[in-house]
């Protein structure tokens, strides 16, 4: 009989791990989704050559990315690479 893809654990600690993994997965998904949304906003400001709003958005975005790295949603080097890449994009409109 199929259980619909859900894992069935007999040990109490294994049941808890399954539950916490679900919670963390949802939290990670929402964090990544928010970062993607904020990145799109930032890129729209850059496209419009709106330096002031783009700078504010980059500050907020880098904060979200660094918090995600601290919570192990992203690896620290991945977060640094994302912030660096976005900073380079901002520098193109500063010139």
Say how many residues make up the chain.
95
Contact 27, 69 (CB under 8 A): no
Chain Cα centroid distance, residue 6: 26
| CATH superfamily name and code, 12-94 | Ribosomal protein S20 (1.20.58.110)
- Is residue 5 over pLDDT 70? no
- 74: alpha, beta or left? (left if phi > 0; alpha if psi -120 to 50): beta
Q: What is the pLDDT of residues 33-76, one digit of tens each?
A: 999 999 999 999 999 999 999 999 999 999 999 999 999 999 99
Q: How confident is the model at residue 30 (pLDDT cuts 50, 70, 90)?
A: very high
Q: What is the pLDDT of residues 6-29, one digit of tens each?
A: 768 899 999 999 999 999 999 999
So what's the pLDDT on residue 8? 82
């Amino acid at each position: 009989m199929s259980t619909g893809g859900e894992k069935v654990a007999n040990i109490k600690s294994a049941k808890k791990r399954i539950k916490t993994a679900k919670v963390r997965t949802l939290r990670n998904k929402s964090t990544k989704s928010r970062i993607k949304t904020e990145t799109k906003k930032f890129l729209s400001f850059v496209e419009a050559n709106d330096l002031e709003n783009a700078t504010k958005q980059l500050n907020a975005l880098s904060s979200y990315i660094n918090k995600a790295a601290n919570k192990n949603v992203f690896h620290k080097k991945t977060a640094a690479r994302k912030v660096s890449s976005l900073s380079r994009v901002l520098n193109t409109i500063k010139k």
